[in-house]
Amino acid sequence: MKDDSVKHPQAAAEFLKDRAQAKWHDSAIWWVRQKRDAQAKQLPEWEELRRLAREIKAHTLSQLDDYLAQFEANAQNNGVTVHWAADADEHNRIVHSILAARQVKKLVKSKSMLTEECGLNPYLEQRGIEVVDTDLGERIVQLRHEAPSHIVMPAIHLKKEQISELFHKELGTEAGNNDPTYLTHAARANLREHFLTADAGLTGVNFAIAETGGVVVCTNEGNADLGTSLPPIHIASMGLEKIIPKLEHLGVFTRLLARSAIGSPVTTYTSHFHQARPGGEMHIVIVDNGRSDILGNEDFYQSLRCIRCGACMNTCPVYRRSSGFSYSYIIPGPIGSTLGPSRDMKKHGSMAFACSTCGSCSNVCPVKINLHEQLVLHRKKAFDQNLLPTGKKMGLLAMRFLTQHPALFDLGGKVMRKVVPIIPESLTRHSAWSRAGRDLPPMPAQSFKEQYQQRSQNKQDKEEQQ
């Protein structure tokens, strides 16, 4: 489970203490962003695809109740049992009751941010069910008793040496062997045993098709497929926003997802589940957990278009330089910074400020969510609800007053340009974002306004001379 009491600036400062690791984190994730760009450029229709995806999702959300009912009816026709959960607790209770009724001892899970959101693993473990996360990155963080730090690359905060040490302890691999291929294949052998001995499999859902009542799960590792084709029970947990109207719409979303997420043309496996395997049973749990409230909020409902590709965090200059653990909500980065405060402003308000408002997230989002605009609106809400630290609040109030009084603003600037150069450095290094060696730049002699007036005057003089 994630520590939801963290405040972004302090946690980020902590992360940045290891400069080498921070630099690696930044460049490794930026590389994924560049791969995404390379894929996007290969398709002349890329921007049209984003528009289509946005419009399909916008339409679906505008009739979500109808599409959910249609999805349920079609899934039931396929022989699938459909459950509804109002919140995380109800989701966990439903999953547990399915497993308990069938004496399940071991559950293999493929990646599902929803079950992280619901805290399913500890809930089941407390009730005596062994839960094995099977996505390699998720397995690594599970063995370390950590939450994922990225929604697509759960262990991106770790170096191979740390993983080697972990596997040596947990899986008995050779000490000091840091080769990623060796380590991956050791985990493969270990997890194969778990797949073959599991009593049930649980997956997330990437897309749920109203028209056919089936769900689609995309993985590169094949873990969702092994986890659902071997044990007799398949439970698929889905947020209610995962619906798309028709099968043909996958022709848009499967083209966008992996290209946006990891810069690959597609995931290795794009699997469509409509019925249980022979002799088995399939359950789908549809989870609300606050989503229907977000749907009713005019400023923030567009965040429900999200397909969880993670492109927004890969491009985010703040995420790359602060890591997922600096964000209090289970989903980090720009999308998490709107979903978190939508869910609980008191807990997650600091996330909305972990943003330079550069807008890069909105520019890469495959469903064109207005992410940076939503973060600004959340800041306003945090201010209105009096949730800002006193210093930040006073600063904003002062800035508001100044911008409403231009003469005072000019005077303030003049004073700053004189005073800042003579105050001791220790006082100007107070920001959580700054560090030694990043001093304030020298103050200019004139304000922008003065320079502009001077320039206009010079230009006029020149013209008069001619």
Partner 1 sequence: MSARDNILARIRQNRPQASALPDIHAVPFIRYDDQFEAFATLIRNLGGDAVQLQDGQSVADIVAARWPDAGRTVDLTVAEHEEVDDPHAWHDVDVAIVPGQLAVAENATVWVSHPDNRFRSIYFLTQKLVLVVPREAMVDTMRDAYARIDIAEHGFGAFISGSSRTADIEQSLVMGAHGAMAALVIFV
Contacting partner 1 within 78-97 (CB under 8 A):
78, 84-86, 90
Q: Which two tokens stand for residue 324?
A: 């997922």
The span from the CA of 292 to the CA of 117, in Å, is 16
Nearer to partner 1, 226 or 354 (CB): 226
Given 292, 359, 393, 410, the residue binding partner 1 (CB under 8 A): 292
The span from the CA of 30 to the CA of 320, in Å, is 8
Task: Write phi, then psi, for 3 (nearest 5 degrees).
Answer: -80, 105
Q: How many residues bind partner 1 (CB under 8 A)?
A: 97
**For residue 297, how many other CB atoms are within 10 A of its CB?**
13
Q: Which two tokens stand for residue 131?
A: 């839960």
Residue 135 makes contact with partner 1 by CB under 8 A = yes
Q: Which two tokens stand for residue 43?
A: 């398709």
* DSSP designation for 260: H
Q: Where does this chain touch partner 1 (CB under 8 A) — which range of 153-161, 307-315, 370-378, 455-463? A: 153-161
Site for partner 1 in 62-81 (CB under 8 A): 62-65, 68-69, 72, 78
Given 21, 220, 363, 447, the residue binding partner 1 (CB under 8 A): 220
Site for partner 1 in 198-217 (CB under 8 A): 209, 212-214
CB 131 within 8 A of CB 121: yes
Residue 136 makes contact with partner 1 by CB under 8 A = yes
Given 295, 313, 354, 377, the residue binding partner 1 (CB under 8 A): 295
Nearer to partner 1, 8 or 111 (CB): 111
Strand partners, 115: none
The span from the CA of 260 to the CA of 257, in Å, is 5
Q: Where does this chain touch partner 1 (CB under 8 A) — which range of 13-21, 41-49, 316-324, 332-340? A: 41-49
Given 12, 40, 147, 191, the residue binding partner 1 (CB under 8 A): 191
Residue 411 makes contact with partner 1 by CB under 8 A = no
The least CB distance from residue 399 to partner 1, in Å, is 33
Nearer to partner 1, 174 or 248 (CB): 248
Residue 154 makes contact with partner 1 by CB under 8 A = yes
Site for partner 1 in 356-385 (CB under 8 A): none
Strand partners, 238: 286
Q: Which two tokens stand for residue 25?
A: 């984190």
Residue 109 makes contact with partner 1 by CB under 8 A = no
| Beta-carbon contacts of residue 167 (< 8 Å; ≥ 6 apart) | 173, 183, 186, 187
Site for partner 1 in 227-286 (CB under 8 A): 229-230, 240, 245, 247-252, 254-255, 262, 264-278, 286
The least CB distance from residue 163 to partner 1, in Å, is 6
Task: Write phi, then psi, for 269 (nearest 5 degrees).
Answer: -120, 125
Cα–Cα nearest to 249, from 52, 381, 30, 460:
52
Nearer to partner 1, 240 or 371 (CB): 240
Q: Where does this chain touch partner 1 (CB under 8 A) — which range of 175-183, 358-366, 408-416, 423-431? A: 175-183
Q: Where does this chain touch partner 1 (CB under 8 A) — which range of 112-120, 177-185, 407-415, 432-440? A: 177-185
**Amino acid in the structure at residue 217:** V
Q: Which two tokens stand for residue 194?
A: 């778990």
DSSP of 286-347: EE-TTHHHHHT-TTTGGGGG-----HHHHH-HHHHTT-GGGSSSSS-HHHHHHHHHHH-HHH
Given 43, 143, 387, 402, the residue binding partner 1 (CB under 8 A): 43
